[in-house]
Amino acid sequence: MQPHFDCIVVGGGSMGMAAGYYLARDGHQVALFDSFDPPHTQGSHHGETRIIRHAYTTEGDTYVPLAKRAQQLWNELAELTGKPLFLNTGSICIGAPGSGFVAEVERSARAHQIPLEVLTGAEVRARFEGLNVPDDYIGCYEPEAGVLRCEDCISSYRELALAAGAELHTHTRVTAIEVQPEGVTVRTSKGLFTARRLIVSAGAWSEQLLQSLYGHSLPLRPTRKTVGWFLPAGTAYNAPQHATDAGEFPVFIFDLLQRQYYGFPVLDGLGLKIGRHDSGERINPDDDDRSFIAEDEEELRWLLQRYMPGANGDLTQGKVCIYTVTPDEHFIIDTLPDHPHVAVAAGFSGHGFKFVSVMGEILRDLVMTGQSEFDLSLFRADRFGPNG
């Protein structure tokens, strides 16, 4: 007889690990399966840090309540574990003239009463000596935003899930999923497992698994992305010294119309971290080549040379990760048609990690009750139709 559970979670990286914790905490028998050993470097959650902010662009009325609840849950997780998972650096969103991104940040802050300072280019330079932006640029400073230590966050959920009784099967690939009217059978590299309910949150590997469930492809594109850490001269780019103090240098986002970058202040002596949000090549997530090459460094230095020259020092390390994105860059969060006991979560890369904590709650609620207290209509899978 196969091992049987209340719920199986396929993909124990970010959202899956959080969901596994909330399910196990509530007393459900849970098994999580991951092809690697989370936190790991094969998906989208590595690289030490992620931004969390609340004045959200693009459908902010949907995202802002999620971001606020996520922040509450991150704070609770940090208190529960005693780990400094969130660092309140503040954030600065900088836009070139005509930036719709910055305009949306301003609108979102007004609509949702989120503290935000709107600065001219000259005021940005006066506030943050490490930023060299033209006078006609706009900066939106959000003092309550900051940094999540992403790998520590996943490790914390993992520890708590296991302590609550969840089973974690690492280095175990899921090869097939069969959905029955009142249960599921999951075939893995270590045998068959059954459960009453199922969550699929497999990141870059979701495309293949979900095609077998939906009977058609969902437009999920695994995309190669790079980040680099650069050693600045001086202390202008240092993060605050204490996890609850905004100040010194914030996390940052640049919308330059044709290019979008993001980054982090110097933390733990690693250097200033920077990545490019737009562009990127489609890749096969099973490709083992994760080499950071000279062209990647050149692309990142483009921003430093123009707007942050004091940070344009030696490259201390470069890494490759995978975004998995949908055509409209919104997530897929839904239950399988005609099978409400199967929940699906995919397409989070690029702006998803901040929501991991609240997605854990949402996926638990969806798979156990079929509903959520949040408006998830923006994230329905059927918005793409059968042909993607």
User: Is 321 assigned a catalytic role?
Assistant: yes
Q: What's the rounded mean pLDDT across residues 59-74?
A: 92
Least confident of 212-226, 243-257, 362-376: 243-257
Q: Does the pLDDT at position 58 exceed 70?
A: no
Catalytic residue, from 276, 321, 324, 335: name it.
321
Residues 19 and 120 in one domain: no
Which CATH number goes with the domain that contains 290? 3.30.9.10
Residues 164 and 281 in one domain: no
Q: Are residues 282 and 308 in the same domain?
A: yes
Asked if 354 is an active-site residue, the reply is yes
Q: Where are the alpha helices (DSSP H) in the chain?
A: 15-25, 60-81, 100-112, 121-127, 150-163, 206-214, 294-307, 356-369
What pLDDT was estimated at residue 244? Answer: 53
Report the alpha-carbon distance of residue 120 to residue 46 in Å, rounded.
Answer: 34
Q: Looking at the domain assignment, is residue 55 inside a domain?
A: no
Q: Determine which one of 273, 276, 319, 341 is catalytic.
A: 273
Mean per-residue pLDDT, 187-211? 94
The dihedral over CA atoms of 293, 155, 80, 72, expressed in degrees to the nearest 10, equals: 50
Is 46 catalytic? The answer is: yes
- In whole angstroms, give the CA distance from residue 195 to residue 214: 19
Residues 239 and 310 in one domain: yes
Number of domains in the chain: 2
Q: Is residue 52 part of a domain?
A: no
Judgement on whether residues 138 and 90 belong to the same structural domain of the protein: yes
Known active-site residue 273: yes
Q: Render pLDDT for 147-194 as a digit per residue (tens, 0 to 9).
A: 999 999 999 999 999 999 999 999 999 999 999 999 999 999 999 999
Per-residue pLDDT tens for 354-368? 999 999 999 999 999
What is the value of pTM for the model shown? 0.94
Q: How far apart are CA 255 and CA 146, in angstroms?
A: 18
Q: Exactly one of 28, 50, 319, 330 is catalytic; which is it?
A: 50
Place of tokens 């959905």: 179
- Looking at the domain assignment, is residue 371 inside a domain? yes
What's the pLDDT tens digit per position in 321-339?
888 999 999 999 999 999 9
pLDDT in tens, 272-285: 999 999 988 888 88
**Residue 113 lies inside a defined structural domain of this protein:** yes
For the segment 123-139, the average pLDDT, to the nearest whole number, is: 97
Query: Which of 46, 53, 197, 319 does the annotation list as catalytic?
Result: 46
Q: What mean pLDDT, rounded, does the chain reach?
A: 93
pLDDT of residue 247: 57
Q: Is 319 helix (H, G, I), strand (E, B) or coil?
A: strand
Please report, as a single letter, which amino acid is at residue 63. Answer: Y
**What is each CA distance from 159 to 20, 54, 363, in whole angstroms?**
11, 27, 19
User: Given this model, what pLDDT does residue 184 score?
Assistant: 97
Instruction: For residue 277, indicate whether it is catalytic.
Output: yes
Assess whether 132 and 238 both reside in one domain.
Answer: yes
Domain boundary among 323, 339, 358: 323
15: β partners: none
Res 290 pLDDT > 90: no
Domain that holds residue 95: 67-76+84-147+223-323
> What is the per-residue pLDDT for 374?
97
Looking at the structure, do residues 141 and 166 belong to the same domain, yes or no?
no
Two tokens, residue 332? 């897929």
Q: Is residue 199 part of a domain?
A: yes
Q: Is residue 49 part of a domain?
A: no
Task: Indicate whether 118 and 266 sit together in one domain.
Answer: yes
Q: Out of 7, 28, 49, 335, which one is annotated catalytic?
A: 49
pLDDT given for residue 321 in this prediction: 87
Report if residue 20 sits inside a domain.
yes
Q: Is 31 helix (H, G, I), strand (E, B) or coil?
A: strand
| Dist. CA 325–CA 207, nearest whole Å | 11
Asked if pLDDT for residue 352 goes beyond 70, the answer is: yes
Instruction: Supply the pLDDT for residue 12.
Output: 93
Q: What string of DSSP letters covers 90-153?
A: -EEEEE-TT-HHHHHHHHHHHHHT---EEEEHHHHHHH-TT----TT-EEEEETT-EEE-HHHH
Do residue 209 and residue 303 come from a single domain? no
